[in-house]
C-alpha cells in the first residue's frame, strides 16, 4: 500500500525588517559617540582658524586666518620642540621595530637553548618593573639624563610589541624557513628575505603603536629631561595650555588661536596616517594575537 502523505505548502516567511530595534539603537549610539568625538575637534579646528578673541562654540570662524599656524611653524620656541618630536618619533620607531623584530625572530628559534626561559623572563617584565625611582637612578648612573637617548631607548624596549611580533612569526609556515635554509640562506638572510617581507601588516601595526607612543610622550621627558632646549612638542604644548609659555604671535593671531593651532598640529600627523594604515593595523593585530 502506498502511504498517502499530505504535503502542506510551506508557509511564506515574512521578510525581516531592515530597521530592527537593535539596528536603530546601535545607529543612534554610533552617531552619539561620533558627535562626542567630533564636536571638540571641530571647535579646536575652528578656533585655530579664527582670529577673534571670542570663546564658545562656533560653526565657522568669524575672521578666517592662518596666523596661528604661521606662529607655530615660524617661531623658534615652537619649531625646535616640533623638530625634536619628529626626530625622536622617527628614530625611536625604527629602533623599536628593529629590537622587536630581532627579539621575536630569536624567540622562534626552536632549537635555541634557553628559549623558553628567556621568553618567561621577558613576560615577567610585563607584570613587574623596577619602579620609577630605581629606573631613574639607573639612567642617571648611565649618564643618559638630559639627553635624547633617555627618551628614545626607554620606549623602544616594549615586550608587548615583541610578543605580538613573535606570535606573527610563529604563524609563518615553517616550510618557508626550511626552504630558505636549504637554498643556503644564513639565519639573518632568512630574517630579512623571508620573515620581514611577509610581516608588512605586523610591522605597520607595531610601527604605528611605537610612533604614537613616541609622538605623545610626556612622562619620560618630565622624568629624565630638565633642559628646556630638549623638550618635545607635547611638553611645550602643556606650557602653552597653562599660559606660562606662550610665544609671540604673528600679527593678527590671538593667544587662543595659537593654542588651538598647536593642538591641531599635534594631532594632525596621525589623523593623516591612520586611514592609510588602518587595514594593516587591524590585520596585524588579528594575525599576531589570534591563533587558529
Task: Please give the average per-residue pLDDT across 89-111, as a whole number.
Answer: 89
Highest mean pLDDT of the ranges 64-78, 131-145, 176-190, 277-291: 131-145
As a whole number of angstroms, the distance between CA 271 and CA 88 comes to 19
Report whether pLDDT(182) > 80: yes
Residues 6-32: tens digit of each pLDDT: 555 555 555 555 567 888 888 899 999
Q: What is the pTM of this model?
A: 0.78
Contact 93, 213 (CB under 8 A): no
Q: 1 pLDDT band (50/70/90 cuts)?
A: very low
Count Cβ atoms within 10 A of the Cβ of residue 11 and give its class: 0-12 exposed, 13-18 middle, 19 or more buried: exposed
Q: 292 pLDDT band (50/70/90 cuts)?
A: very low
Q: What is the tally of helices (H) and strands (E) in the chain?
A: 13, 0
CATH code of the region 82-237+270-289: 1.10.3720.10
DSSP state letter for 242 = T
Q: Which range is least confidently modeled, 109-113, 134-138, 216-220? A: 109-113
Report whether pLDDT(173) > 80: yes
Task: Please give the average per-residue pLDDT across 240-252, as a whole number.
Answer: 66
Residues 186-197: tens digit of each pLDDT: 888 888 888 888
Residue carrying C-alpha cell 570663546: 55
Residues 65-99: tens digit of each pLDDT: 788 788 888 777 788 888 999 999 999 999 999 99
As a whole number of angstroms, the distance between CA 268 and CA 92 comes to 19
Report whether pLDDT(290) > 70: no
Report whether pLDDT(250) > 70: no
Q: What are the domain boundaries of the chain?
A: 82-237+270-289
Report whether pLDDT(41) > 50: yes
Residue carrying C-alpha cell 621627558: 221
Report whether pLDDT(248) > 60: yes
Region of 184 please: left (phi>0), alpha (psi -120 to 50) or beta.
left
Amino acid at each position: 500500500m502506498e502511504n498517502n502523505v499530505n504535503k502542506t505548502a510551506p508557509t511564506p516567511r515574512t521578510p525581516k525588517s531592515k530597521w530592527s530595534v537593535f539596528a536603530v539603537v546601535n545607529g543612534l549610539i554610533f552617531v552619539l559617540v561620533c558627535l562626542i568625538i567630533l564636536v571638540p575637534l571641530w571647535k579646536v579646528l575652528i578656533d585655530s582658524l579664527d582670529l577673534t578673541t571670542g570663546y564658545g562654540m562656533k560653526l565657522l570662524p568669524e575672521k578666517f586666518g592662518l596666523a596661528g599656524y604661521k606662529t607655530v611653524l615660524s617661531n623658534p620656541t615652537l619649531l625646535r620642540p616640533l623638530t625634536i618630536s619628529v626626530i625622536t618619533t622617527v628614530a625611536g620607531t625604527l629602533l623599536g621595530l628593529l629590537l622587536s623584530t630581532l627579539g621575536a625572530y630569536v624567540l622562534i628559534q626552536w632549537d635555541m637553548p634557553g628559549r623558553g626561559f628567556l621568553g618567561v623572563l621577558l613576560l615577567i617584565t610585563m607584570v613587574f618593573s623596577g619602579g620609577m625611582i630605581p629606573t631613574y637612578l639607573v639612567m642617571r648612573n648611565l649618564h643618559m639624563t638630559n639627553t635624547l637617548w633617555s627618551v628614545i631607548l626607554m620606549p623602544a624596549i616594549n615586550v608587548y610589541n615583541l610578543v605580538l611580533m613573535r606570535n606573527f612569526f610563529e604563524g609563518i609556515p615553517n616550510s618557508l624557513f626550511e626552504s630558505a635554509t636549504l637554498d643556503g640562506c644564513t639565519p639573518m638572510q632568512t630574517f630579512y628575505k623571508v620573515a620581514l617581507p611577509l610581516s608588512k601588516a605586523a610591522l605597520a601595526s607595531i610601527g604605528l603603536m611605537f610612533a604614537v607612543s613616541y609622538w605623545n610622550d610626556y612622562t619620560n621627558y618630565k622624568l629624565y629631561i630638565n633642559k628646556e632646549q630638549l623638550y618635545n612638542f607635547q611638553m611645550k604644548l602643556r606650557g602653552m595650555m597653562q599660559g606660562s609659555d606662550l610665544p609671540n604671535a604673528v600679527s593678527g593671531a590671538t593667544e587662543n588661536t595659537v593654542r588651538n593651532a598647536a593642538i591641531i598640529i599635534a594631532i594632525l600627523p596621525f589623523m593623516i596616517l591612520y586611514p592609510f594604515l588602518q587595514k594593516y593595523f587591524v590585520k596585524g593585530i588579528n594575525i599576531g594575537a589570534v591563533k587558529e
